[in-house]
Every structure is written in C-alpha cells, then in structure tokens.
Structure 1
Amino acid sequence: MVEEAVEVDTIQDQDTEAITMKSLLEAGVHFGHQKRRWNPKMKRYIFTHRNGIHIIDLQKTLNLVEEAAAFLSEVAASGRKILMVGTKKQAQDTIVAEAERSNSLHISNRWLGGTLTNFKTIQKRIDYLVDLETRREQGDFSTLTKKESLKIDEKINKLNRNLSGIKEMTEMPGAMFIIDVGREEIAVAEANRVGIPIVALVDSDCDPDLIDHPIPGNDDAIRSVRLITGRMSDAIISGYHQRNAEQSDDPTDANQESNPRMVTYSTVTMEESITKENEDTEEEVIEPEQTAESDDSASEPLQSDKEVTSPEIEDPIPSPENSVSSDPIEEESEPDENTS
C-alpha cells in the first residue's frame, strides 16, 4: 500500500510540472477551429486568429485546467465516482486508458440515451449483462449448441461495447469529464437535467455556458486530449489517495473510543457479581436466626443487606464481643422483654 501511494504521488508531480505553457503549445492546445465555425460565447477565451483559425488564450486555459483538476480531486475525495465520456476516435483510447488508471467510469463507444435520465432501465441492462457473464463462467451454457452459444457471446460483446465502462455505476456519478461538447450534446443535456457538474475540454465552436468547469482548448488533436485527460486523471487519483488516507486514520480513533466503553462495562458486571455473592453469603448466615424471631424483626436483614453493598463495611454480622453498638442484636432483644 505504501509503494502504491508513492507511485501515485510521483505521477502526479510529473504531470503537474508538465502542465505548463510550453507543454500546452507543444500539444497544440491553442489551435481552435476556423473563424466561420466559431461560437461567439467563446470570445472571452480566444486570444487572436491566424490564417482564418482562432488561437485560444493558453494563459486562461492553464488557470482553468488547475481549477477543474482541483474540483475533480474534491469529488474523488468525497467518495464519488467520475464518469469520463469521449466517443470520437481521437479520444476513445485515451478515455479508456485514463479511466482505468484512475478507477473511473467511462463511455467511449456510444452514449446511450437515458444513461442518466433513465438510469433504472440502464441498470437493468447492466444487471442482465453481469448475469450472462456469470452464467457463462459457471458453465451454464455448456449444454447449448455451438450456434446458440455463439449468439450468447455476440450478445455479451454487444452489451460490453456500450456498458463495459459503467458496470460499476450503482449510483449517479459525482461529476463528468467530457471531450468534445458538441459531439456529446446528449450527455451534456442529461447531466444538466439531473444536476451533475461537468468538466469539459471546450473548443472554439462549443458553448461554454453549458459547462460548469470549461477548459478552452483543442479537442481534436490526440496530444491535446491526452495531456488534458491525463491531468484530470491525476487529480482524481490524488483525491482517492486522500480519501484512503483519511479512512485509514478513522479505525484507530474508533478503537481508542471503544476501549473505555469495554472497561466500564466489565467493571459493572464485576460489581454486580460481587454484590450477588455477598448477598448469598449473608442469606446463608441469617437464615437460622430469621426462623426463631418474630415478624417485627423480619425487616432487619434488609438493613444488613444494604450494609453489605457498601464498600466501607467488611463484616456485615457483628461479633458477640463488640455487640455494644450493634443495633440489630439490641433491637431484636427488646421485643422478647415486652412479650415476657
């Protein structure tokens, strides 16, 4: 566990140093689309244009990358999953690799309508896929013909193409990271409808107002997508690492709090057992005297029982020699004189 934590920190430090103005320039993050394809809402993120192509302001990109990374790290530290979405060819391999590295959910083939707004139906399909795979591993389909088994394999493969990255999605994700907002407009609309915050790489032809944490940059170049996605993945890993460190401290505190409770509980049971033993011994000594005395003195043994429970009195029955100050014997002799 310690070695894994060191590796995560090392990777994070390396990629944090890599996200610089120079690395953004080398990855081509500053290249936008043609001027005729631009979205006027992206004007605040555009620096200039050259040869009919918009140039994105990388200083703003650099600041927004770190803000988005800090947000995803907080979501991961809270224990929520992040869903990475990128179905275009330039982003598919990167999304799958970085999602698996950061233990995140991902969709890289096709966004199924209703993945978020009709989650119950999607969950049923996921359960059906898991059931088929389990039955195949257990050999339940071994008795089928070759043609029937091939059909089942094809069905499993088809379901895996769209659902393999969200098999572990038992609840709504805490946040989404999207490549190409224009292409994934259905995913953006569903996330906004159910209230899931979005972090996205936004090109010059996209609407940044639909995104909670936009990152202006080139969403077509593979190097640009890989650089930004890798930084987000490192932030997620850092958040999970922070959560694991906090959880490892909680059990020690819980054990320290539980130990005093165990001690007090055992002390009470010992006192109860001691009082019961003293009461039993007292009853054995007093039983012969109670049979010879009248009903008026029947309440006296109750007083001796109270004296037994107090820790200051060791001998509940006084000796005959020291009976001058012993109340039980004097009080018992008085009724005998009156009766005579």
Structure 2
Amino acid sequence: MSNLSEKEEREGELTEAEKEELKKSEKGTIIELLVPVETYLSAGVHIGTHSCTKYMQSFVYRVRAEGLYVLDVRKIDERLRVAAKFLSRYEPQDIIAVASRPYAYRPVQKFAEIVGARALVGRIIPGTFTNPYLSTYTEPKVLLVSDPRTDTQAIKEAAKVGIPIVAFADTDAKIDYIDLIIPANNKGRKSLALLYWALARQILRERRVIPPDGDLSVPVSEFEMRLVQ
C-alpha cells in the first residue's frame, strides 16, 4: 500500500507505448536508467498531483484527462544522478536529510545510515541551524529535504545561513530557496523508499565505495516505512 488512492494509481498507469517511449531519449536512442522503467513505475515515482506549479511544468510527461500530472521518469533519473554527484562532494557527516512527513522517516533514516549522513525526522526545533545556544544546534554543509511543502522550517533556516538545499519535489511544490530539485512523487511509501535507495546507491558509486554498476547490500524494502497493524 501507499498513501495514494486506487483512483490516483489507475490515473497514473501508462500504456505499453508510453513505457517504451520512456526507455528512449528525445532523440530516440535507448538510455540506461539507474533502475528499470518498470521498477520506477511500479513504485509510483511518476505519479504527481492534480496541480502543477510553474517551475515543475518542465518535469511533466503527461497530463491525464482527469487532471493528474504525470512526471517523466527520465528526468527523475537524470536529477537523481545530478543530486548524487553533487552530494558526493561533501563529507558524509556534513549532509543532513530531513523529513517531517511520516512516510519519509524510515527512507531518510536508512539513507543516512547507508551514506553516513545525519537524519532529522519529525518536527524541526526552531533554531536548529541558526541558534548556536540550542542543544540541538548543528551546522550541516548541505541539506536534503523530502518535501518543500512540509519541511519548511528546515528550508527557511538553511536558506538564512546559506546552506545549499536539495529537495524531492512533486508537481505541486513551491521551490523557493531550493537549489536542486529532484522531481518525484514524494508522498507515496514505495516511491520514497525507491528514491532514497537509488540516491544512496548512486552516491556510493560516485564516491567509488562500490563499483559504477555496484549494488547496495540492502534491498529497497529496507527503506520502506512499516505500516502499523
């Protein structure tokens, strides 16, 4: 299960022709993605919302008749690569990943564990990045946020002190203060797990911790938020 409705998942389904198109560049050549198109689609990373901000329009693949915006997985993949290359330039402990949305808690924590970053989940105490007198004060060199719409406190503080911000952003995202956008469904449980898993793996590849085609020792399922029974 994810927190997407069955209706939204149906609207986000692609035809076989569309799936084949997403395996090719705009010039028609076959491209090699970080994960297969089918894996991206089954996790729902491409399923946007029924609204789209001006900046996010360039990442949209289709707009369904029902009004659902569908993201282009090729552009998601491209931005994951760019973000991984950028983040790999920082010392692991200088990266902080934040999540105020519950479905992102475990993905963020597992990501931090794998790449050696730090994770902040739940409510960010005001002054965490700006008030050195707080016991929770910390000075990251770069910030990774799960959702610009909900991680606002962290974003405002990072922007105030000049910390670069990388963010997963859905079609309805406000991108004020964001330096690097990774377009994606940042609300779905399976989507968040795959996104953080793929980003963690690519960072380790960029650092040459694992080979260019190397894999993580943990499966995507380990990044997935557990459902309370």
TM-score, normalised relative to structure 2: 0.69
Change (3 A) 1:115 1:21: same
Cα shift at 1:223: 1.3
Does residue 81 of the first structure (1) align with residue 94 of the second (2)? yes
Matches within 5 A, 1:127-166: none
On the 8 A contact 1:173/1:196 being kept in 2, the answer is: yes
Structure 1 residue identity aligned to 2:62: T
SS of the aligned residue for 2:90 comes to helix
Does residue 34 of the first structure (1) align with residue 50 of the second (2)? yes
Does residue 220 of the first structure (1) align with residue 164 of the second (2)? no
Structure 2 residue identity aligned to 1:41: Y
Q: Which residue of 2 aligns with 1:47?
A: 61
Does residue 229 of the first structure (1) align with residue 196 of the second (2)? yes
How big is each residue's C-alpha offset from its partner over 1:248-295, in whole Å with a ceiling of 9 and x where there is no partner?
A: xxxxxxxxxxxxxxxxxxxxxxxxxxxxxxxxxxxxxxxxxxxxxxxx
On the 8 A contact 2:102/2:122 being kept in 1, the answer is: no
Q: What 5-or-longer segments of structure 1 have no aligned partner?
A: 1-15, 127-165, 243-340
Cα shift at 1:219: 0.5
Alignment equivalent of 2:38, drawn from 14, 17, 22: 22
Alignment equivalent of 2:126, drawn from 77, 93, 113: 113
Q: Which has the higher helix share?
A: 1
Matches of 1:239 and 1:67 in 2, distance apart?
A: 10
Matches of 1:20 and 1:207 in 2, distance apart?
A: 29
Structure 2 residue identity aligned to 1:26: S
Cα shift at 1:202: 0.4
Alignment equivalent of 1:100, drawn from 95, 107, 113: 113
TM-score, normalised relative to structure 1: 0.48
Structure 2 residue identity aligned to 1:186: Q
Q: What 5-or-longer segments of structure 2 have no aligned partner?
A: 1-31, 210-229
Does residue 66 of the first structure (1) align with residue 78 of the second (2)? no
How big is each residue's C-alpha offset from its partner over 1:78-106, in whole Å with a ceiling of 9 and x where there is no partner?
A: x6521010121111122112212322111
How big is each residue's C-alpha offset from its partner over 1:197-218, in whole Å with a ceiling of 9 and x where there is no partner?
A: 1111100111235321101110
Structure 2 residue identity aligned to 1:39: T
Larger-gyration structure (1/2) = 1
Does residue 196 of the first structure (1) align with residue 163 of the second (2)? yes
On the 8 A contact 1:69/1:235 being kept in 2, the answer is: yes
